[in-house]
């Protein structure tokens, strides 16, 4: 009888536990870019941080064609966090069809400004290309079609009084494929919008002699915000002995309006409390600074992210106030 009672008690206890619902996990897809760019390794690091620091979520990383595709996927509910260039984000918010946005992407919400993308035009040294004007009649890869990089390419050429019609041939290729064609002498130059020291251009510079092409300050000033004047420091790439003027555009992390405030708060907090892990993934993350987190965000900031920045005394206009 005692054994039966114990068995019955154990069964009842087991059944009781069986009916305790497991806490549901929230799936978080981080939308990045090509695997040879900067977005992807940072996205992988971000996913690991979220998995370790944010309770009850299951993060995954998705390689994409970057900014434009990422923003459209977010709008469709097919991602929760995305990397994007600032100019692409501004065009998505107004619904610029030419840029790849058929309607206003009203579900987008800002999480944080991160680091600047440097628009880097790199030519084979023996191509004779040293200036933007020298690109006329030459073979140039401008990034994947309708990508943030490709938008940058059109903007820079237009400000310099040029268009794709002035080029000898235009290729719409991701970073790695562009580099492979340059190694095989099938392209003269590649335009890549990425953090400094992007792996694709490092690979190119160790394979052939290169020249980093100047984007003059006058061209950048003609475009205006969100483009800013910048420099590619000397020795960023093998054989590049001089600093070269260029343009830069701020990158952002973006989410969706329908994500719960607490989830976005926890993810934003995890980012800024674990910056060394992001910096270990790519040196571009060294430019991610809390005081710049709300710099120039061209869309509404998610309330969850706002809550974190308010706690830290960060404001849109003044940076850290406490």
Q: Does residue 13 surpass a pLDDT of 80?
A: no
Distances in whole angstroms, Cα of residue 28 to Cα of each of 54, 88, 95, 165, 265? 11, 22, 25, 42, 14
- With bands split at pLDDT 50, 70 and 90, how would you rate the model's confidence at 224? confident
β-partners of residue 145 are: none
On average, the pLDDT of the chain sits at 91
> Is 50 exceeded by the pLDDT of residue 12?
no
Instruction: Return the pLDDT at 5.
Output: 44
Q: What is the mean predicted confidence (pLDDT) over 34-59?
A: 95
DSSP for 61-103, please give it.
EE--S-HHHHHHHHHTTS-SEEEEEHHHHHHHHHT-GGGT-SS
pLDDT at position 147 is 86
Higher pLDDT, 98 or 310: 310
Alpha helix locations (H) across 138-198? 148-159, 175-183
> Which tens digits make up the pLDDT trace of 15-35?
444 444 556 789 999 999 989
pLDDT tens digits, residue range 78-88? 999 999 999 99
Query: pLDDT band at 37, cuts 50/70/90?
Result: confident
- Mean pLDDT for 51-69 is 96
Q: What is the pLDDT of residue 22?
A: 54
- Angle formed at CA 295 by CA 253 and CA 107, multiple of 5 degrees: 45
pLDDT of residue 322: 34
CA distance 75 to 264: 16
Which of 20-34, 145-159, 178-192, 214-228 ranks highest by mean pLDDT? 178-192
Which candidate, 263, 287, 110, places its Cα nearest to that of 196?
287
pTM of the model: 0.80
Across the range 240-246, mean pLDDT stands at: 97
| Residue range 145-164: mean pLDDT, rounded | 93
Q: Does residue 2 surpass a pLDDT of 60?
A: no
- Write the burial class of residue 113 (CB in 10 Å: 0-12 exposed, 13-18 middle, 19+ buried): buried
pLDDT band at 144 (very low <50, low <70, confident <90, very high): confident
pLDDT per residue over 162-211, tens digit each? 999 999 999 999 999 999 999 999 999 999 999 899 999 999 999 999 99
Mean pLDDT across 254-268: 98
**Are the C-beta atoms of 203 and 115 separated by less than 8 Å?**
no
Q: What is the pLDDT confidence band of residue 252, given thresholds at 50, 70 and 90?
A: very high
Ranking 134-148, 206-220, 299-313 by mean pLDDT, the lowest is 134-148
The pLDDT-based confidence of 228 (bands split at 50, 70, 90) is confident
């Amino acid at each position: 009888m005692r054994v039966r009672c114990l068995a019955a008690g154990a069964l009842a206890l087991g059944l009781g536990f069986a009916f305790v619902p497991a806490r549901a996990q929230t799936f978080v897809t981080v939308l990045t870019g090509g695997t040879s760019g900067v977005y992807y390794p940072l996205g992988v690091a971000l996913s690991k941080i979220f998995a370790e620091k944010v309770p009850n979520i299951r993060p995954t990383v998705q390689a994409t064609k970057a900014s434009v595709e990422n923003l459209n996927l977010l709008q469709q509910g097919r991602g929760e966090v995305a990397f994007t260039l600032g100019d692409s984000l501004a065009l998505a918010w107004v619904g610029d069809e030419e840029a790849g946005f058929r309607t206003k992407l009203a579900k987008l919400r800002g999480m944080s400004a991160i680091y600047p993308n440097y628009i880097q035009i790199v030519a084979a040294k023996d191509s004779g290309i040293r200036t933007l004007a020298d690109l006329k009649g030459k073979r140039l890869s401008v990034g994947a079609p309708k990508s943030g990089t490709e938008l940058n390419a059109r903007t820079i050429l237009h400000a310099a009084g040029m268009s794709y019609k002035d080029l000898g041939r235009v290729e719409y290729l991701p970073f790695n494929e562009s580099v492979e064609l340059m190694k095989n002498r099938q392209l003269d130059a590649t335009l890549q919008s990425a953090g400094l020291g992007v792996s694709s251009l490092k690979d190119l510079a160790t394979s052939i002699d290169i020249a980093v092409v100047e984007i003059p300050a006058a061209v950048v000033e003609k475009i205006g915000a969100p483009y800013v004047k910048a420099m590619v420091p000397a020795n960023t790439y093998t054989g590049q002995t001089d600093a070269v003027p260029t343009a830069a555009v701020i990158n952002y992390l973006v989410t969706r309006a329908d994500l719960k405030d607490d989830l976005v708060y926890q993810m934003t907090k995890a980012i800024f409390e674990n910056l060394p892990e992001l910096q270990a993934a790519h040196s571009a993350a060294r430019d991610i600074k809390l005081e710049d987190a709300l710099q120039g965000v061209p869309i509404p900031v998610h309330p969850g992210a706002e809550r974190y920045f308010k706690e830290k005394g960060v404001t849109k206009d003044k940076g850290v106030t406490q």
